[in-house]
Amino acid sequence: MAGTGKAHLRNGEALLRVEDLVVQFPVGRTGLVVNAVSGISLDVLKGETLGLVGESGCGKSTTGRAIMQLPRPNSGSVQFEGKELTAMAGDEMREARTRMQMIFQDPVSSLNPRRKVRDIVMEPLTIWDRGTKADRSKLVDRVLEEVGIDPQRASESQPHQFSGGQCQRISIARSLVLDPSLIICDEPVSALDVSVQAQVLNLLEDLKARYGLTMIFIAHDLAVVKNISDRVAVMYLGKICEVARSDDLYHEPAHHYTNVLLQSIPVPDPDVAVQRRAIEGEPPSPVLPPSGCRFHTRCPAAAARCSAEEPQLREIGDGHFVACHYPVHGGEAPVTVRSSGTAA
Amino acid sequence: MSNITQAGTRDVEGPLLELVDVKTHFKTHRGLVRAVDGVSFSLDRGKALGIVGESGSGKTILSRSIMGLLPSKGTIREGSIRFEGKEIGNLDRKQMRGIWGREMAMIFQDPMTSLNPLMKIGRQIAEPLRIHLGMDRAGAWQTAERLLQDVRISEASRRLNQYPHELSGGMRQRVMIAIAMACGPTLLFADEPTTALDVTVQAQILDLLNDQREERNMSLILVTHDLGVVAGHTDEIAVMYGGKLVEKAPTKVLFARMKMPYTEALMQSIPKIDDPSHTRLLAIGGRPPDLVHPPLGCRFAPRCLYARDKCQTEEPPLVQAEDPAHSYACWYPVGSAEYHEAKARLAETPVTVGGRG
Amino acid sequence: MTAIITAPDHEVPATTELIAPKISRYKRMFPTVGVLLSWMFLLTLTFMAVFADYLPFIRSTQTVVKASGRSGVRFGFGPGFTAWFGTDTLGKDVFAKCIYGARVTLFVGVLATIIGLTIGGILGLAAGYFRGWVDRVVSILTDCLLALPPLLLAIILVFRLDDLKAKWSWISWLDRRWQITLTLGILAIAPLARIVRAQTLSLREREFVLAARSLGAKNGRIVVREILPNLIPTMMTVAFTGLGILIAAEGALAFLGLSVEIPTPTWGKLIDDNKNKIDVAWWAEIFPSLMLFLTVLAFSVIGDRLSRRFDIREAGV
């Protein structure tokens, strides 16, 4: 199977290194599969924030969950802190999971509606029986204060008594008490009002600095992703299109799909907004993904080669990688001898 | 404001929709919730108005109040709502039924929960046509197909026989728009129509709404929390805060010369793609006011960076700006001497980590 | 005002709550008159049934009522001061029989519900949570139970067990009361398992379950701490509604002759005994029927109340 390449992986110590990750879901009992993630590779250095961006159904959330091994990927390797997660099982796996935490999109659904907020935040410590009761209490109160939730109120209230933004803060607090090294944020702000969104983004930046966290930030809004990330990977239909430092990605988008995403961001400026025109259509079904470059069905620059041969990630600038035969800049891809066929 | 008189059957003079001091209060166990507290504005035919505000600003309640979609029990409605010259503020549900669909229609945020999961798309579009316009089965089905083509759904005839779960989120929202437009309403409410959708699809849906509005000379009220969404797709914008209208202006005027610090703060909280990464966002601290016990003076004062003593005690009235179509409610608007003074003072004390977040 | 964020804030009541105040909080806090009456009725009935032997106004079901020289034999007394619900053909007090009948009826109803809820709950929870082969096995089991004709099961468990009891001493403790309880309990398993399974299926997809797993919680902990608390409202609601149905079913079985040993009264038996005498003495037929009707109604009203109460809280979640 033709992957999208690993040219963008860096040598040396990465906190997380994902190679050729494949995740498929069966469609009922039809025998068909949804190709949610089709062989992607990523690496995240310590202290870095990697943004994963793409439309819904591009596999970005699935990637995040597959890294946590929830559910386990069909194939590929996930190395975290030097250990291979896909080979782990049982208690070893449970232990390893505590080193990485996840924050979900729906702040309300991610908290058990029938428990007190303070108990929810305390739960990880109870599961692992960390410290004495007094230690736990102190730690939970401190973390709650850090995310801006009154511990007193948290001990008396259930999640539904808090607003969406506050619930997201509670989720963040819960993910921090085990002192993880990696946090995977799965669309943490897309359900929030813009004003609350800014609060949560700022909070994440503060906590990242304070706790020395490494983050994977998954979102569909490129403006949000760019704001918080050091490096951004653009995904489309289970493949990576482009990887670059976030400022480079905006200044010199190379993949046509990145361009589309940039164009779609609503700009709070009436003069700019009227000139824009949205891309037509929606992503094809991941059950039967297009041959060659998966974006060729919607790409404004698609040529014959695009439907026949799958592009590989290649470097077109310092730390800037693109998987496109005819990128916006960076020159045409050299013709490879490898035949591609349909990737599945 | 120009009065565009629509050609055709409806040629009543004056604005399509006129609100005077509309109040919507709810009786709850905690006391009276002043969800909408004295809102006045008018909307011309064929124009698009954006109502912008945070959760709890009353924007959704206002639009439902106009539509008459609120429960009569425990709701107190005051003020005048005139639609095509007729007073509709005091009509009950039964009387409103004649207006829904044919005169006013609404699309909601979540197209999955607004569509009946057990009914084919075609039937869901054809049903209102048969009820409201008395079409026969075949005619309604044909119109439904044409409507689906209008909202740019490919293979319209096949889609008619599909169920909502077979369509993507963007498609479902298109179907909702088709249903809303089936009986040719003069006013369409879109309540956060794109919040649940991807950015790429969001742009498509907003363009579609705009095109349909122009084609059908329909008015549009776009309710959203995101100033970015309304920027390119409305003629006018009304900003709501704490149940009140705090600023209203033609879109271009608003973005060029916003007066209300709240509008400015909403603008600043949006991450800009042009800013380098890790630019600190200027979030609005605190939370929206308690609508049972709203602040005494300006409702935004407790969160406003430029608030002074007067703001805490006296409520600012809605006043006109240089542009006659532009009005705002603020004692020390953006650009005033006091505003600059306060801003200079803030610049000296750097924002501490977490201080404004 | 996104619908995704429906959690009401302390400071700002969520708009969703304002838009759909189907029941005001006032009504939620204070039960309606119907619910209050239902509770009163059930509690009084239970109290009287439990302490029937010690309460002075409840006669023994064995003594013939006699007052001011008249005997109650052959429906001697109509409803009145002497015998509140009148007397039956043997001259026994119908009121007393109704109260003693409640003993059996409530015992059977409550225990059958507990059996159904425990077994059905565990099966449903396991099926919904673990999916896979567990789900398939449970599905087959519940399908079999549903396919079983209820009457056949009742006949087997009541009459066949009588024979077996004589043969095997280890089940001799089973009296008819237990046999009927078992019958109804088994019949309740399948529907309850299905309800719990469906609820568990939707709960396990919620992100807080995923979050718990990512925190390293084991399955047992997730089930007990995360899923079960969210199932309890549904189970309570179903239990109360189910209780009413099971009590009615007990009556129906008794009416068909599948009942406890003579002379213990049950409502169903009372209704059955006096069904042909309604033109002579309506009270002997009507009062037991009324008791059955009111009890079933009371359980349904409370069940309905509970479901609505929990629904609203769920709406915010």
- What are the helix and strand counts (H, E) for chain B? 13, 12
pLDDT score, position C285: 83
Q: In this structure, what CATH number is given to the domain that contains residue C274?
A: 1.10.3720.10
User: What is the percent of chain B where pLDDT is above 70?
Assistant: 94
In chain B, the N- to C-terminal Cα span, in Å, equals 39
- Comparing A78-92, A113-127, A162-176, C301-315, the range with the smallest average pLDDT is C301-315
DSSP conformational letter for C8: P
Residue ending a domain, choose from B184, B206, B238: B184
- How close A15 gets to chain B, by Cα (Å)? 21
Domain range for C77: 62-92
The verdict on residue C240 lying in a domain is yes
Residue ending a domain, choose from C70, C92, C114: C92
Chain B interface mutation, best of C2, C17, C18, C24, highest count of B Cβ atoms under 10 Å: C18
pLDDT in tens, A177-186: 989 999 999 9
Residue ending a domain, choose from C92, C109, C141: C92
pLDDT score, position A278: 64
Same domain, C77 and C128: no
Q: How many domains does chain C have?
A: 2
pTM, full prediction: 0.81
The verdict on residue C39 lying in a domain is no
Interface of A with C (CB under 8 A): 65, 68, 70, 94-95, 97-98, 100-102, 104-115, 123-124, 127-128, 153, 157, 159-167, 171, 174, 178, 191-193
Same domain, C222 and C80: no
For residue C212, which residues of chain A lie inside 8 Å, CB to CB?
A: 112, 123
The verdict on residue C6 lying in a domain is no
Neighbours of chain C (3+ CB pairs under 8 A): A, B
Same domain, B260 and B178: no
pLDDT at A343 over 70: no
Mean pLDDT across A299-320: 88
Nearest CA in chain B to C12: B290
Question: Which residues are paired to B205 by β-bridges?
Answer: none
3-class SS shares of chain A: helix, strand, coil, % to 5: 35, 20, 45
pLDDT in tens, A89-132: 888 888 888 899 999 988 888 899 888 999 999 999 998 888 88
Nearest alpha-carbon partner for A125 in A169, A180, A178? A178
- What are the helix and strand counts (H, E) for chain A? 12, 12
The verdict on residue B341 lying in a domain is yes
Same domain, C86 and C110: no
pLDDT score, position C1: 33
- How close B250 gets to chain A, by Cα (Å)? 10
Mean pLDDT across A28-35: 82
Q: How many C-beta atoms surround the C-beta of residue C40 within 10 A?
A: 11
pLDDT score, position B357: 36
Residue keyed to tokens 């600059």? B340
pLDDT at B350 over 60: no
Question: Which residues are paired to A53 by β-bridges?
Answer: A219, A234
Domain range for B151: 112-184
pLDDT in tens, B281-305: 888 888 888 888 888 899 999 999 8
pLDDT at C36 over 70: yes
Nearest CA in chain B to C7: B55
Mean pLDDT across A33-44: 90
pLDDT score, position A276: 62
Residue keyed to tokens 């504005």? B41
Kindly provide the b/e burial profile for residues B15-25, where b requires at least 16 CB atoms within 10 angstroms of the residue's own CB: bbbbbeebbbb
Residue ending a domain, choose from B162, B184, B206: B184
The verdict on residue C186 lying in a domain is yes
Q: How many domains does chain B have?
A: 2
Strands B86-87 and B75-83: antiparallel
**Minimum-distance CB partner of C1 among B60, B71, B74:** B60
CB contact under 8 A, C24 and B29: yes
Establish how many alpha carbons lie within 13 A of residue C267's alpha carbon, considering only the half-sphere containing its beta carbon.
Answer: 29
Tokens standing for residue C317: 């979640």
CB contact under 8 A, A112 and C216: no
DSSP run (H or E) holding B167? none
pLDDT in tens, B150-201: 888 888 888 899 998 888 888 888 898 898 888 889 999 999 888 878 888 8
- All residues at 6 or more sequence positions from B275 whose CB lies less than 8 Å from its CB, including other chains: A227
Query: Angle, to 10 degrees, between the axis of helix C94-130 and the axis of helix C282-315?
Result: 30
A1-99+182-193+209-344 architecture in CATH? 3-Layer(aba) Sandwich (3.40)
pLDDT at B97 over 70: yes
Contact A212, A177 (CB under 8 A): no
Same domain, C110 and C144: yes
Same domain, C137 and C272: yes
Tokens standing for residue A164: 């969406």
Mean pLDDT across B107-133: 85
In chain A, what are the domain boundaries?
1-99+182-193+209-344, 110-179
**Amino acid letter at C258?**
L
Mean pLDDT across C223-235: 88
pLDDT score, position B204: 83
pLDDT score, position B224: 92
> What is the phi-psi region of residue A47: left when phi exceeds 0, alpha when psi lies from -120 to 50, beta otherwise?
left
The verdict on residue B68 lying in a domain is no
Tokens standing for residue A184: 């995977």
Residue ending a domain, choose from B138, B164, B184: B184
Over chain B, what is the mean pLDDT? 86
- Comparing A48-62, A70-84, C126-140, C157-171, the range with the smallest average pLDDT is C157-171
- How many whole angstroms separate alpha carbon B346 and alpha carbon B285? 15
pLDDT at C120 over 90: yes
pLDDT in tens, B204-241: 888 888 888 998 889 999 999 888 888 888 999 999 99
pLDDT score, position B47: 92
- How many whole angstroms separate alpha carbon B93 and alpha carbon B101? 13
For residue B224, which residues of chain A lie inside 8 Å, CB to CB?
A: none
Over chain A, what is the mean pLDDT? 86
Contact A63, A52 (CB under 8 A): yes
The verdict on residue B315 lying in a domain is yes
- How close C207 gets to chain B, by Cα (Å)? 18
The verdict on residue C230 lying in a domain is yes
Q: How many C-beta atoms surround the C-beta of residue A89 within 10 A?
A: 10
For residue C25, which residues of chain B lie inside 8 Å, CB to CB?
A: 28-29
- How close A206 gets to chain B, by Cα (Å)? 7
- How many whole angstroms separate alpha carbon B43 and alpha carbon B15? 6
ipTM reported for the complex, 2 dp: 0.82
pLDDT at C12 over 80: no
Same domain, C225 and C121: yes
- How many whole angstroms separate alpha carbon C208 and alpha carbon C206? 6
Distance of CA A184 to the CA centre of its chain: 7
